């Protein structure tokens, strides 16, 4: 007697991991698009804020002119007067990428008020969401401020020796992108302190004020006496303002430039891991009160 044919059942093939990755990328691209539309709603506010931000530059130019004239020198720590003004103008571009106003305070506030739980009940990662939102914010801001900044640099073109060579220009662009990542993950990591402390306003104020100075936004780090100059250059904060500016001015070249770009990338990855670790540890303490 011939045995009946056995029914062969093919086990289900699991969905490829690539499909999940594509779905995740699409999700955060949609968040970026929605955030971009939201930020572009306030075009006039962006434009007015950018124009008003240029007014202190007039005082800065006059101040450094008086400093050079009072010193009786045309060169201070390797910076001529024209290079100093060019540096201070370029730090505004650096901070345009690296500054994250309200990021750390917003994270601490969401922890304190309990609204952070929305990221826990929805398939959205908080850090990924905030990164997409900040990218949209930067795109909108840079787009709206392109014309005012272009006009400013045209008026101040006498302080520059023209555009750098293509390799230096590419390195400058890479340093700005990395400065965005360093700035984002650093401030996000600072905001995670809200998991351990109820009120962090004073701490955030101190950290951000120090960051503004030690990043080289107020003056080149080369002007500081040793060992402070070398110490601050060894910290990651120089990549938020000082480093991109000196790259554009051609003061960092060759293998030193490559080494600094790799170190900047390492700091960005390091802050990302720190941010993720603090977030994971913080969630173990989070009780979702409020909201």
Per-residue confidence of the chain (291 residues) as pLDDT tens digits? 444 444 444 444 444 556 667 777 776 777 777 766 665 666 666 666 666 666 677 788 888 888 888 888 888 888 999 999 999 999 989 998 999 988 999 999 998 888 888 888 888 889 999 999 899 888 888 887 787 788 888 888 889 988 899 999 999 999 999 999 999 999 999 999 989 988 888 888 898 889 989 999 988 999 998 899 999 999 999 999 999 999 999 999 999 999 999 999 999 999 999 999 999 999 988 876 655
- Give me the residues paired with residue 76 across strands: 79
Distance CA 158, CA 88 (A): 14
Q: What is this structure's pTM? A: 0.82
For the record, the structure tokens of 203 come out as: 């701490």
User: Mapping DSSP to helix (H, G, I), strand (E, B) and coil, where does residue 31 land?
Assistant: helix
Distances (CA, A) of 173 to 17, 18, 76, 93, 176: 33, 30, 27, 11, 5
Place of tokens 């994971």: 280
- 71-110 core/surface letters (b: 16 or more CB in 10 A; e: else): eeeeebeebebebbbbbbbbbbbbbbbbbbeebbbbbbbb
Q: Taking the chain, what is the end-to-end CA distance rounded to the nearest angstrom?
A: 72
Residue indicated by tokens 């999940």: 20
Give the pLDDT confidence score for residue 215 in this predicted structure. 93
Q: What is the pLDDT of residue 17?
A: 57
Torsions phi, psi of 75, nearest 5?
-140, 120
Distances (CA, A) of 3 to 7, 8, 9, 10, 258: 12, 14, 18, 21, 73
Instruction: Collect all residues with Cβ–Cβ distance below 8 Å to 157 and sequence separation of at least 6.
Output: none
Q: What is the pLDDT at residue 161?
A: 86
Rounded CA gap, 215 and 239, in Å?
Answer: 7
- Residue 125 burial class via C-beta count within 10 angstroms: exposed 0-12, middle 13-18, buried 19 and up: middle
Query: What 3-state class would DSSP assign to 192?
Result: helix
C-alpha to C-alpha distance for 103 and 184, rounded to whole angstroms:
8
**Residue 6: predicted pLDDT:** 41
* Residue owning tokens 């392109």: 146
Cα 105 vs. chain centroid, distance in angstroms?
15
Rg (CA), the chain: 24
């Amino acid at each position: 007697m011939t045995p009946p044919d056995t029914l062969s059942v093919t086990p289900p093939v699991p969905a490829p991991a690539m499909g999940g990755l594509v779905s995740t990328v699409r999700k955060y691209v949609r968040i970026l698009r929605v955030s971009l539309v939201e930020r572009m709603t306030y075009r006039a506010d962006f434009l007015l804020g950018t124009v008003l931000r240029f007014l202190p530059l007039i005082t800065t130019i006059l101040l450094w002119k008086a400093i050079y004239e009072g010193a009786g020198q045309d060169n201070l720590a390797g910076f001529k007067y024209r290079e100093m003004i060019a540096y201070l103008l370029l730090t505004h571009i650096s901070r345009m990428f690296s500054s994250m106003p309200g990021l750390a305070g917003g994270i601490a506030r969401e922890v304190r008020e309990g609204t952070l739980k929305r990221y826990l009940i929805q398939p959205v990662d908080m850090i990924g969401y905030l990164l997409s939102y900040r990218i949209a914010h930067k795109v909108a801001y840079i787009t709206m401020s392109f014309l005012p900044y272009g006009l400013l640099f045209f008026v101040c073109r006498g302080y520059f020796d023209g555009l750098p060579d293509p390799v230096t220009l590419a390195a400058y662009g890479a340093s700005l992108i990395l400065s965005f990542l360093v700035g984002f993950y650093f401030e996000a990591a600072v905001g995670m302190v809200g998991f351990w402390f109820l009120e962090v306003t004073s701490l955030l104020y101190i950290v951000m004020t120090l960051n503004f100075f030690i990043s080289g936004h107020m003056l080149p780090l080369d002007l500081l006496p040793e060992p402070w100059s070398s110490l601050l250059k060894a910290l990651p904060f120089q990549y938020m303002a000082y480093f991109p500016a000196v790259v554009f001015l051609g003061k960092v070249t060759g293998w030193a430039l490559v080494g600094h770009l790799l170190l900047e990338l390492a700091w960005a990855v390091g802050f990302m891991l720190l941010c993720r670790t603090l977030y994971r540890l913080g969630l173990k303490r989070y009780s979702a009160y409020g909201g």
